[in-house]
Amino acid sequence: MENENATEETATFEIGTPQNINSTYGLMDGSGAQLQRVLEENYGLFTIQQWATFDQAYATAGQSCGMLGGSNWYHWVGVRGQQGDMLWIANSAPGWYDIYDTLSREQFNSLGPFSLVSLLPQ
């Protein structure tokens, strides 16, 4: 592993600024392909990407961590796990669209479709 602890600055550099991520538009590819590339190339982690339903994201959150981006939310968050019947998320912009540290099925359905990039067991 090249770098065990990423900061916002190093993550932005690794993703590729301004072509892949920038302060005007954020992450330029909503699929999460650049996030996958960084995790594999820079950290030796293997991921899978899918356009997930809430049930798929919830099931994955019970087994693995990852990242989740909503096409109508224009925002990516970390997936920490499950909290009751909601997704427990790491949100760098608490309150964006009235979402803080959990994401309900209703919120998920209104802000999707969602791309889910999850870590695969090694």
Question: What does the domain layout of the chain look like in residue ranges?
Answer: 8-119
The pLDDT averaged over each successive group of 10 residues in the chain (122 residues) is 68 92 89 95 94 97 95 95 98 96 98 96 76
pTM over 0.85: yes
pLDDT at 33: 95
pLDDT at 1: 42
Give the DSSP H or E segment for 11: helix 8-15
pLDDT at 15: 93
The whole-angstrom separation of Cα 30 and Cα 1 is 26
The whole-angstrom separation of Cα 20 and Cα 108 is 25
Instruction: Match 């996030």 to its residue by tokens.
Output: 35
Topology of 8-119 in CATH?
Cathepsin B; Chain A (3.90.70)
pLDDT at 103: 98
pLDDT at 11: 86
